[in-house]
Amino acid sequence: MTGKAVLIYDGDCPLCRRAAAWAEQRALPDALTILHCGSVDQLRAYPDILQEQCEDAPQLVLPDGSVLEGNALLPSLFDRLHTWRWLARAMRAPGLAWLAPLVYRTLIINKRTLAVLVYRK
């Protein structure tokens, strides 16, 4: 991992907000910036990333300018977090790689329901 990546997330989704805050708290120094989709900073820096894309799946802009989304961003994101780099390696393993898309899609389809259940105050 070299350079800073930018995570762009759906700020209207409570589960997404919590996940982004969790990642931000665990990020290695100078490894990750977090932006709310549709924010002035996001629109200025990444105008090609549309609101619909962020609502469908978080976007991770890598230092080389490539963009990963959804479950494809998870290994690169975990590479940038304290104590979670092992999970990045595990997610890249051929025996486990098939599971991430299935789990991720289930979470996204149910994200608003899960937010209510998990983060009820």
For the cut 90, the answer to whether the pLDDT of residue 53 exceeds it is: yes
pLDDT (average), residues 19-33:
94
Which tens digit of pLDDT belongs to each residue from 59-89?
999 999 999 998 889 889 999 999 989 888 8
- Name the CA dihedral angle for 100, 86, 5, 95, rounded to a multiple of 10 degrees: -30
> Could you tell me which residue, 32 or 102, shows the higher pLDDT?
32
Which pLDDT score is estimated for 90?
82
- 71 phi, psi to nearest 5 deg: -65, -20
Task: Report which of 83, 84, 66, 67 is spatially closest to residue 75, judged by C-alpha positions.
Answer: 84
Question: CA–CA separation, 9 vs 42, rounded Å?
Answer: 10
Instruction: For the chain, give the percent of residues with pLDDT over 70.
Output: 85
Q: In this structure, what DSSP letter does residue 120 have? A: -
For the cut 80, the answer to whether the pLDDT of residue 1 exceeds it is: no
Angle between helices 111-118 and 14-26 (to 10 degrees): 70
AA identity, residue 110: N
The whole model's pTM is what?
0.83
> Is residue 59 packed enough to be buried (19+ CB in 10 Å), middle (13-18) or exposed (0-12)?
buried
> Could you tell me which residue, 35 or 19, shows the higher pLDDT?
35
